[in-house]
Structures are given as C-alpha cells and as structure tokens.
Amino acid sequence: MTENPAVEPPFGTVPPHDPFQAAKASAMKAAEELRAAASQKAAEFRTAAEARAQQFRDTAGQKAADIKEKAGEFADHTFTEARERCADLRQEAEKFAREKPLQALLTAFGIGFVIGSILRR
C-alpha cells in the first residue's frame, strides 16, 4: 500500500506539524507587517516633507515681499534725492549764468564742441 498525502488523517489523530511551513508562514506574516509599517512611515515622511516645503515657500514669499518693499523704498528715496540734486544744480547754473554770462556762454560752447567732436568719430 502506498500512502496518499492528500488523504485526511483518521479521527482522533493530529496531522503532523511541518516546522518549515510554520516558519515560512511566520516569515510571510512578518514581511507583510514590515511592508505595512514601511508604507505608513513613508506616508508620514511624505506628509512631513510637504508641510516643511510649504513652510519654506511661505517664508521665501514673505522674504521676497520684504525685499521688494525695501527696494521700492530705496528707489523712491534715491529718485527723490536725485531730483533734489538736479534742481540744486539747475539753480546754481542759472545763478552762474546771471553772474557771469560770458564765462557761462564760453563754457557751454566748449562742452558742445567736445561732445560734437566725440560724436563725429
């Protein structure tokens, strides 16, 4: 008689315990738990990274707005100062032309001659 492994054991007997199958099942269960834990940790890291990236974006946007505001203030201040200097120079030129008209005329002629010579080349 040959034994058939597919045949059920008779009543009252316990099927033989296979240690390799038990170890394999235990390892598969541990691998599945490890995979689930790794997936959960990856999701947590992804969420934390997204939150940190959003925080960096917000901070960078605020810093850019601050820099833009300061640059605008600096440009306004510089423009106002340049306008005041131009007005002062104009007033001094008018005063000089009234006090010494011949010297002012010769100076203007000399400057025009030099600029004309440069532009002809």
Residue 76 has pLDDT above 60, yes or no: yes
57, part of any domain = yes
2, part of any domain = no
**% of the chain at pLDDT higher than 90:** 70
56: left (phi over 0), alpha (psi -120 to 50) or beta: alpha
Q: Which domain holds residue 104?
A: 26-120
Residue 1 has pLDDT above 60, yes or no: no
3, part of any domain = no
pLDDT digits (tens, 9 = 90+) for 30-61: 999 999 999 999 999 999 999 999 999 999 99
Contact criterion met (CB below 8 Å) for 15 and 9: yes
13, part of any domain = no
Total domains in the fold of the chain: 1
20, part of any domain = no
Residues 71-78, mean pLDDT to the nearest whole number: 95
Lowest mean pLDDT of 1-10, 49-58, 59-68, name the range: 1-10
Q: What is the overall mean pLDDT for the chain?
A: 87
58, part of any domain = yes
92, part of any domain = yes
52, part of any domain = yes
